[in-house]
Amino acid sequence: MTTEGQVDDLTPVLTKRWLSPQSWTLRTYEQLEGYTALRKALAANPDQLIQLCKDSGLRGRGGAGFPTGMKWGFIPQGDGKPHYLVINADEGEPGTCKDIPLMMADPHSLVEGIIITAYAIRSNFAAIYVRGEALHCIRRLHAAVREAYDAGYLGKNILGSGFDLDVVVHAGAGAYICGEETALLDSLEGKRGQPRLKPPFPATAGLYASPTVVNNVETIASVPYIVNGGSDWFRAMGREKSPGPKIYSLSGHVERPGQYEAPMGTTLRQLLELAGGMKDGIPLKFWTPGGSSTPLFTAEHLDVPLDFEGAAQAGSMLGTTALQIFNETVSVPWAVMKWTEFYKHESCGKCTPCREGTYWLVQILQRMVAGNGTPEDIDTLLDVCDNILGRSFCALGDGAVSPITSGIQYFKHEFLALCESNAAQAKAPALAGAH
């Protein structure tokens, strides 16, 4: 129980219904305060909801941490154009596994958040772009949307408010890049999912070149709670610049991997304690704070507060709070090679630094892991990374270099060790008699 001013170690908000039987049904959702926030929201002026979201300090849960209320406020009003709300449910950042369980367990919280958000930004059409591989999640979302239509929460004149909203559940088709918001929009328009040059930003020219808000699942699912609880309640959890609860996903070499919803700013040390510590007691070697695109942390970073500021100040990023935990037995160059193979495969091919860079990075890392590398390869890797970081169309390129540069920063000796056997061979005297 919470005493004055103190907050419990775990703060189930988004995950609070997950233990209920048939938690995904409208019946369960309505029994547990479902759609009460919607009634309150529809009785208000849409601008009050945008202000509430700003006051709450809610920041995007898809990785970048952009202030959500500010994003909503960027949508020009009275411009005569249709406005769109697009939910980024294309969860695919390696290590990330929070949105799919959320949508399977409690799809109505997302649907209610969508209706409130669409009302706030004056949008009459919203799309949920879900990763195609998440089939069971797509089923549950479809059913939830259908139930919401039948109950009068979607469609024409919602609950007599005069507000109309249609929602479509849209299955992707297997492309990590579509998690990038402008690639997602192109994909939703029926094209190859390749990022657009920004500006213009989606707030002015998004879906079908109209003003569009693109938000992550966890972000929008938070909205009904903020409407009901208010911004002070939301800010009672987390830290000043990164308030609220957050689903931390622990995976890898940990005794009890899983989803843990805790206040923003919780540390890995605290989370590991809740999760029973390192698997079989083998010490921690490295981890990602928020997916493979966020620079690696080591055992030195166990006490870094995991919020947007804390992770950034320690040289990484909060990302999607996908904590992939690796113990001492795992080779850093091998892990980095595997991630780089992933980025190379998922590079959309649009821009040269990323397309060519990831191709060559893989070649070099594979050669090194095979024992055929040289210390100069490390310089080449860093040089290629330097030509990708900040020089690509989108963040995929930046993400691709994160494991490499951070891996070399903290574990250069492991990369050098891979070159030793090769160096010994090179030093052997040349055979005489060759011609």
| Residues 66-105 within binding reach of other proteins (CB under 8 A) | 82, 91-97, 99-101, 104-105
- Identify which of residues 410 and 422 has a Cβ nearer to other proteins in the complex: 410
Considering only residues 348 to 377 of the shown chain, the ones binding other proteins according to CB under 8 A are 348
Question: What stretch of H or E contains 127?
Answer: strand 125-130
Of the candidate residues 249, 270, 347, 402, the single one contacting other proteins (CB under 8 A): 249
Of the candidate residues 57, 113, 172, 202, the single one contacting other proteins (CB under 8 A): 172
- 304 Ramachandran zone, left/alpha/beta (phi>0; psi -120 to 50): beta
Residues in the chain: 435
Does residue 132 belong to the site contacting other proteins (CB under 8 A)?
A: yes
From the list 108-116, 181-189, 299-307, 375-383, the region that binds other proteins by CB under 8 A is 181-189
From the list 19-27, 309-317, 369-377, 404-412, the region that binds other proteins by CB under 8 A is 19-27
Of the candidate residues 64, 159, 236, 302, the single one contacting other proteins (CB under 8 A): 236
- Identify which of residues 134 and 378 has a Cβ nearer to other proteins in the complex: 134
Does residue 42 belong to the site contacting other proteins (CB under 8 A)?
A: no
CA angle 425, 374, 291 (to 5 degrees): 135
| Nearest alpha-carbon partner for 131 in 189, 186, 179, 185 | 179
Please state the closest distance from residue 347 (CB atom) to other proteins, in A.
12
Please state the closest distance from residue 15 (CB atom) to other proteins, in A.
5
Does residue 411 belong to the site contacting other proteins (CB under 8 A)?
A: no
For the sheet containing 245-252, what is the strand order?
A: 258-263, 245-252, 322-327, 284-288, 297-298
- Cβ neighbours of residue 326 closer than 8 Å, sequence gap 6 or more: 252, 253, 284, 285, 286, 287, 335
Q: What does DSSP say about strands 284-288 and 322-327: parallel, antiparallel, or unpaired?
A: antiparallel
Does residue 139 belong to the site contacting other proteins (CB under 8 A)?
A: yes
**Which tokens is 133 given?**
């591989």
From the list 133-141, 355-363, 388-396, 419-427, the region that binds other proteins by CB under 8 A is 133-141
Does residue 182 belong to the site contacting other proteins (CB under 8 A)?
A: no
Please state the closest distance from residue 182 (CB atom) to other proteins, in A.
15
Please state the closest distance from residue 137 (CB atom) to other proteins, in A.
8
From the list 255-263, 353-361, 370-378, 422-430, the region that binds other proteins by CB under 8 A is 255-263
Does residue 18 belong to the site contacting other proteins (CB under 8 A)?
A: yes
d(CA 190, CA 53): 32
Cβ(22)–Cβ(29) below 8 Å? no
CA angle 401, 404, 405 (to 5 degrees): 80
d(CA 68, CA 243): 12
Please state the closest distance from residue 362 (CB atom) to other proteins, in A.
13
Considering only residues 314 to 353 of the shown chain, the ones binding other proteins according to CB under 8 A are 322, 324, 326, 330, 335, 338-339, 342, 345-346, 348
d(CA 273, CA 267): 10
